[in-house]
Amino acid sequence: MFDLDPGEELALLVETTRSFAAERLTPSLREAEAARCVSPATRAAFEQIGLRGLELPEALGGVGLGPVARVLVNEELGAADPGAALALDGPGPVAGALSALGGEEAVTQALASLPEDGRALLVDLADAKLQVEGGHLQGVVPWVPAERADVVLVLGEEAAWLTTGGYRLEPLRGAGLRAAGSAELVFEKAPVVARFEGRAAVEQARASARLYVGSLLLGVLRGACDFSREYALQRQAFGRPIAHHQALAFLITDMRMAVDGARLLLHDAAWRIEAGLSAAGETAGAFAQTIEAAATIGPAGVQILGGHGFMQDYPVEKAMREARALSSWLGGLDAAREDAGRALLAHAGPVPLSAGER
């Protein structure tokens, strides 16, 4: 029955991740952004506490956790530095997506030889102009949050393709997530090394990827809310903290409501996947809702700080850019709404609202 308690084990994982983020990511977020990578010490700490590749089977050094653990961890990482989170978690959303497409075997084949600082990239056809012909990928992905790619998984409508070479990354300045790097990905007759078929499997893979990105985004939004709220309690104007002017108090309230609502949708969707229920529509809806929340919370965080918010002395401008970058991934809002709408119309009868309703 309805229970939001993640349990002792996951609560400990969240606490550990939060401490790591506070000690390692937050203090150096501008350095990581400028360097376009994370420091070796941070990477070592991340590995040591077992946060890399949570979904990977134990044979590959992972802990085999599911989507619920992923969304909880990503919120904590995203609240500190989502770019660094992507740089640190080499398998990234590819691990969960591959698991949906081909189970442990597919994950092992694709990621067993991924170096410690290697990156697996996930590309949605909605983001790219790609052709798949004669067992090769050809075309351009305008942006990926990476400057190296050891493995690339491309998600289509009814099939997915894996490639490990025959492409190059042209570095870009990047709008956000610079700690992960930023590049244009150009496929030049990249040979497909594995092909996965079936609409249902691809939908599940996409759902897993949306949870990954959506929960990082949720973290960014929570971070922006927390920081701007703290600031509004310190900053005085017209003789009182600006948080005590009702216009701002209500804005802060609405921001918090939007974050809490998006979080519940993401958790609901993650639970559905873990429970083996259909989740494509719910996950797409949760992703869409988080992106819509980001569209207001990102700029609102800057707004609360006024002129200071516009300056890079504070992290809210970074949060606004990162939120936008994450919102652009995996086809962004339009693709998510397309999938959620399709799932809704595929259902006959009353609209199913509850996770518990099959």
Q: Give the C-alpha separation, 278 to 250, whole Å.
A: 37
DSSP calls for 304-345: HHTHHHHSTTSTHHHHHHHHHHHHHGGGHHHHHHHHHHHHHH
Nearer to other proteins, 153 or 269 (CB): 269
DSSP calls for 128-191: SEEEEETTEEEEEEEEES-S--SEEEEE-SSEEEEESSSEEEEE---SS-GGG--EEEEEEEEE
> Residue 92 contacts by C-beta under 8 Å, 6 or more apart in sequence?
86, 119, 120, 121, 122, 212
Using CB under 8 A as the criterion, what x/- string covers residues 322-351 for binding other proteins? ---------------x--xx--xx----xx
User: CA torsion 286→337→78→143, rounded to 10°?
Assistant: 160
Nearer to other proteins, 143 or 287 (CB): 287
Smallest CA-to-CA distance from 25 within 81, 73, 74 is with: 81
Residue 357, interface with other proteins (CB under 8 A)?
yes
Residue 68, interface with other proteins (CB under 8 A)?
yes
Residue 271, interface with other proteins (CB under 8 A)?
yes
Exactly one of 122, 132, 151, 288 binds other proteins (CB under 8 A); that residue is 288
Residue 3, interface with other proteins (CB under 8 A)?
yes
Residue 285, interface with other proteins (CB under 8 A)?
yes
Residue 268, interface with other proteins (CB under 8 A)?
yes
Residue 133, interface with other proteins (CB under 8 A)?
no
Nearer to other proteins, 134 or 353 (CB): 353
Residue type, 177: L
Residue type, 12: L
Exactly one of 123, 179, 265, 319 binds other proteins (CB under 8 A); that residue is 265
**Span interacting with other proteins, options 56-64, 153-161, 184-192, 266-274, rule CB under 8 A:** 266-274
Smallest CA-to-CA distance from 210 within 103, 290, 319 is with: 290
Exactly one of 22, 129, 135, 250 binds other proteins (CB under 8 A); that residue is 250
Residue type, 279: A
**Span interacting with other proteins, options 77-85, 135-143, 250-258, 322-330, rule CB under 8 A:** 250-258
Q: Which stretches of the chain bind other proteins, using CB under 8 A?
A: 1-7, 10, 68, 229, 232-233, 241, 243-244, 246, 249-250, 252-254, 256-257, 260-262, 264-265, 267-268, 271-272, 275, 282, 285-286, 288-289, 337, 340-341, 344-345, 350-351, 353-357
